[in-house]
Amino acid sequence: MFLYLFSRFGVRRVSIGVEALDKALEGGIPQGSWVVVTGEPGVGKSILCIHFAYAGLRAGDPVVYVTTEQEFRDVMEQARQLGMDLSQFSVFNIAWRKEPEELPEIVVVDIFGLLKVARQLTERAREESPEKVRRYAALSIDTLIEAINEAYEVLAVAKERGSPERHVRLVIDSMSAFWVDKPVMARKYSYQLKIATHRDNVTALLTSQYAPTTRQAFGFGLEHIADGVIHMWMDDVETVKEVRRWLIVKKMRMTAHATRAFRVKIESGRGLVLEPA
Ligand SMILES: Nc1ncnc2c1ncn2[C@@H]1O[C@H](COP(=O)(O)OP(=O)(O)OP(=O)(O)O)[C@@H](O)[C@H]1O
Ligand SMILES: [Mg+2]
């Protein structure tokens, strides 16, 4: 099995696991990049994340899977329906009390993990300044950064550049949850997150909701910070009277990517199927 594909310029490419999309990206997204998937509800963002995680696991990459939307077992069930069996890989949830006995293949950060980390951070703040305790929320950017770093520790992802560790995939589904009450902070938060969690050997896929009413990404800042933007949408259902989905690569650094939209279908047993428009 090929672990990575190399483009003609020697950039290491990370397969997303959807054949037509990988092809549209000269083999995949550049290793170490941060790619945002934007789009309104139901367009297939979470399913694209599942493909990305599954392709990685099959290639031997461990995955840090942050989900703010569902419990991980729901992600596994959705994956199973689409022909991707995640249950064959070992899972460790950072919310668990016990330490992992062996190196896991998937480290899950769900709302329970974020709650646990938020409690730990608040406890630490109490010890440092008992008279004025800072309380951390589960859905705050500081909590997310700490949780991802905890997941990196489990997988022994080092901070030093050039260290020869394995390639790791990071999924954050979704980022919008972290600025739900203050979308103007999106750019600052995204920047903070990237500074604190970016590694050369970590390739990240992050989702962001797009408000169909205003046509504004919910927290537009993330798209500027990202190395790549994959946008998904659907035609107005009242006009076309069906769910007709589309995907386009809006931006991908270091890549002569396809510039036309794809029709997207979601099929049981297969997941996302892309066809040229
Ligand atoms: N087994 C299946 N077969 C066919 N289509 C499916 C199947 N499972 C899910 N879908 C389709 O996928 C859609 C969900 O896609 P997904 O969860 O990726 O959307 P999303 O963009 O993440 O939405 P949100 O912003 O609400 O999280 C469902 O609404 C349904 O139309
Ligand atoms: Mg989703």
Tell me which ligand sits closest to the C-alpha of residue 210.
1
Q: Ligand 1 test: best mutation among 18, 38, 45, most atoms within 8 Å of CB?
A: 45
Residue range 28-95+103-177+186-229 in CATH 2.40.50.140: no
- What percentage of the chain exceeds 70 in pLDDT? 91
Region label for 18, one of left (φ > 0), alpha (ψ between -120 and 50) or beta (otherwise):
beta
Nearest CA, atom 25, ligand 1: 41
The answer to whether the CB of 45 is under 6 A from ligand 1 is: yes
The answer to whether the CB of 222 is under 6 A from ligand 1 is: no
Alpha helices in the chain (DSSP H): 19-24, 45-58, 72-81, 111-128, 141-154, 186-197, 221-225, 237-240
pLDDT band at 3, cuts 50/70/90?
very low
Which atom of ligand 1 sits closest to the CA of residue 49? 18
The answer to whether the CB of 81 is under 6 A from ligand 1 is: yes
233 phi, psi to nearest 5 deg: -155, 175
- Per residue in 133-166, pLDDT (tens digit) is 999 999 999 999 999 999 999 998 876 655 556 8
Q: Check residue 8 and give its pLDDT.
A: 52
Kindly state the helix (H) or strand (E) to which residue 94 belongs, with its residue range: none
- Per residue in 79-121, pLDDT (tens digit) is 999 999 999 999 999 999 898 989 999 999 999 999 999 999 9
The answer to whether the CB of 120 is under 6 A from ligand 1 is: no
pLDDT band at 1, cuts 50/70/90?
very low
Buried b / exposed e over 214-238, threshold 16 CB at 10 Å, is eeebbbbbbbebbbbbbbbbbeeee
The answer to whether the CB of 83 is under 6 A from ligand 1 is: no
The reply to whether omega before 174 is within 30° of 0 (cis) is yes
Nearest CA, atom 29, ligand 1: 42
Q: Check residue 127 and give its pLDDT.
A: 96
Measured in Å, residue 73 CA sits from the centre of ligand 1 at: 16
- Per residue in 29-42, pLDDT (tens digit) is 999 999 999 999 99
Cα 105 from Cα 65, distance rounded (Å): 10
- Amino acid, res. 271: G
Tell me, what DSSP letter sits at residue 99? P
Q: Check residue 243 and give its pLDDT.
A: 98
Which atom of ligand 1 sits closest to the CA of residue 82? 1
Q: Check residue 156 and give its pLDDT.
A: 87
Which atom of ligand 1 sits closest to the CA of residue 232? 21
Q: 207 with 173: CB under 8 angstroms?
A: yes
Q: Is the pLDDT of residue 266 over 80?
A: yes
Cα 221 from Cα 176, distance rounded (Å): 11
Nearest CA, atom 8, ligand 1: 78
Of the listed ranges 9-23, 153-167, 174-188, 253-267, the one predicted with least confidence: 153-167
The answer to whether the CB of 93 is under 6 A from ligand 1 is: no
Cα 5 from Cα 254, distance rounded (Å): 14
The answer to whether the CB of 43 is under 6 A from ligand 1 is: yes
Q: Check residue 10 and give its pLDDT.
A: 79
Measured in Å, residue 80 CA sits from the centre of ligand 2 at: 16
Measured in Å, residue 24 CA sits from the centre of ligand 2 at: 23
Q: Is the pLDDT of residue 191 over 80?
A: yes
